[in-house]
Structure 1
């Protein structure tokens, strides 16, 4: 469960809805190999075992996989293969595809920082391991026909790490129908303060349905793991209340009555709950856990501001969902997050590792409903530049281009597949 997985699922379903014949190859969540069709997509689930690195990760077992891939490629004769990671399955599939003359597209969602905590890499060894990880990634991607990544910043990162091939930024895209702001209907329908009143009332109704206290709410959606740095969000809540926790820090940055809503699960949930108790804000930090697919849009709609502290985000689908839902954003000034924030227009950036600055930015957003509403509307406008339909169209064109290129190359050497 991560952004790459959600992107893959949306891409597969979206392509199928547009008439493509889509097959997905991935590890089985139960461990048992099987084939199932869902939402018009055929899933080929490989035999797998639980990962020691993370509870939500299953690892495919290599024995028999290559033979399975050869039979699958012989039967399907795909126009293109699109890999979403360069690890076991993606690497083996790319190699098999090339053997069968099938062009390969690769999208990179990877940064070494996403693995360090799960693999329990000691801090002193991390720079060396990062270098090896980037080298391995470059070796795999150098053999594919087309490379994409979600943002210009992510593309630039690959170049910085010595990758010499062209890299195209293609947004993960967002469903602007499913993720939308709270409605402007009801008693507060109108403009200005009346519209804001109606939206605030709907947020209260949604909070009641989800069992969330009716307070000003800063939201984070994602895995509760080390690289997400969710502890900064909890410390910001404590500072907003002038609480004195184990660190003894006290601040009067404002935003009285604010709470933090955490939607998702991960290895650090226990530590985060303990931190909230130590900072004296256990009653202001709400752990929703895993959120059902149908409830996720309302989780965004019940919040006042979206906050994200991660420094290893190549785009952040959750931030895009929040923006499409009409939420202002306060984000760490790191990696690709600045692409999603226009200072003072849809939110603010803050220096990573500075929860006091985060608390101050949040306070400036939620202190007045008119400010929150104006920034939320601009977030929605920015999100419209990341329409899922546009991403689907671009990937369709990429598949056509690499397929035509493969056929042309095959014809020139007399090995076309017909």
Structure 2
């Protein structure tokens, strides 16, 4: 097996000088994903950001992903300001889901071998074991190519899209998915997850060991923080309107806030829970206080995050929560569910508060704690979010993956930044 430390090259320096020099040559990197833009979710966002960031550093990066339509083949696509070669595979929509598509499982191994034979990558990095990883992992191992896998999936989340199955069948499905993850990620030279909690959770359920916690990262410089006073009590949520996000708890909590606060809630994002949320908002008489903004422009997203007074994240299934990182980079205090990876982002009373999932009164109280805090306390919380999010700078994430691809020691975390 190759050690992943040198780029594909026909050059053979006559003086043999330099393994170190060879190790710094650009790499040929193949990234495989079961979901990739135009899909909108954390895994797709990470895969795009990783591919574009690495290409921006001079590496030769290609992507394997399902076709979002009925056309397949190699496309040149713009992602993150760079042009990438994307191998779009013939895909079918997962019928219980409104937009999710998967490449055809019975063709994935042949497609993976063909693409790897054409591209000759130094490293293969797969983002999911569900379909694409099942082709790329064995194909890379057959050729002795360094293999890295990143898990973004909780099999438990899959069950929300197959609720027609009885509970025993759902439990069996979750068990089978964890076993599948163990098989395919077990082939990798290195396995990563976005946070230490998600890494520990993955190891516990697969039986694997030493999964490395590497933040998905965000481009901190793209977000603007306003540390000054606000002229309205604006609560913001950003993310998919999916069942595991528990957005109904935010709506119910908003109904229990003191009317004197005149709090407003803006929910940015779209998903299959939109109709249910619309009905709940109407049922609770919150039409003038809670707005479903849908999919918004990037400019509107950033502006809303900047002017909000608090960011709310009631989800119980976050392996990291890129949207919470975006809010922190915008200087927002965070009120989040005490579940999965969110406690890694919230220091109680420092940059926000946690509440127990399902505790609507507790959720409302924590939102109230932020909305009524003295301005000095609010400024300290905003500064704390900016300081805590520094370790999630995407440039550091790219540094880590470059080292991991080359089999080098991983770089230390950056120094916390100040406001």
Short-chain TM bin: 0.7 to 0.9
The answer to whether structure 1 residue 230 and structure 2 residue 262 are counterparts is: no
Match of 1:87 among 123, 130, 134: 130
SS in 2 for 1:223: coil
What residue is the counterpart of 1:196 in the other structure?
228
The whole-number CA distance in structure 2 between the counterparts of 1:348 and 1:380 is: 16
What residue is the counterpart of 1:77 in the other structure?
120
Q: Which has the higher contact order (CA 8 A, sep 6+)?
A: 1
What residue is the counterpart of 1:98 in the other structure?
141
The 8 Å contact of residues 196 and 370 in structure 1, kept in 2 or not, is answered as no
The whole-number CA distance in structure 2 between the counterparts of 1:223 and 1:162 is: 27
Aligned pairs for 1:58-137 (under 5 A) are 58-62=101-105, 64-120=107-163, 122=165, 124-125=167-168, 126-137=170-181
- Judged with a 3 Å threshold, the aligned counterparts in structure 2 of structure 1 residues 293 and 96 are, in CA distance, closer, same or farther, namely farther
SS in 2 for 1:40: strand
What residue is the counterpart of 1:33 in the other structure?
72
SS in 2 for 1:313: coil
- Judged with a 3 Å threshold, the aligned counterparts in structure 2 of structure 1 residues 307 and 121 are, in CA distance, closer, same or farther, namely farther
Match of 1:390 among 382, 387, 396: 396
Match of 1:276 among 276, 281, 293: 281
What residue is the counterpart of 1:303 in the other structure?
308
1:286, CA displacement in angstroms?
A: 0.8
- Greater mean deviation of Cα atoms: 278-287 or 31-40: 31-40
Match of 1:149 among 193, 200, 209: 193
Aligned pairs for 1:211-250 (under 5 A) are 215-241=232-258
1:238-274 deviation per Cα after TM superposition (whole angstroms, max 9, x unaligned): 01146xxxxxxxxxxxx71112111111111100111
Tell me the TM-score normalised to structure 2 length.
Answer: 0.82
Name stretches of at least 5 consecutive residues in structure 1 with no aligned partner: 183-194, 202-214, 243-254, 403-418
What residue is the counterpart of 2:36 in the other structure?
none
Name stretches of at least 5 consecutive residues in structure 2 with no aligned partner: 1-39, 409-419
Q: CA RMSD in A?
A: 1.8
The whole-number CA distance in structure 2 between the counterparts of 1:256 and 1:295 is: 24
How many residues are aligned here?
363
- Judged with a 3 Å threshold, the aligned counterparts in structure 2 of structure 1 residues 123 and 347 are, in CA distance, closer, same or farther, namely farther
The whole-number CA distance in structure 1 between the counterparts of 2:304 and 2:334 is: 15
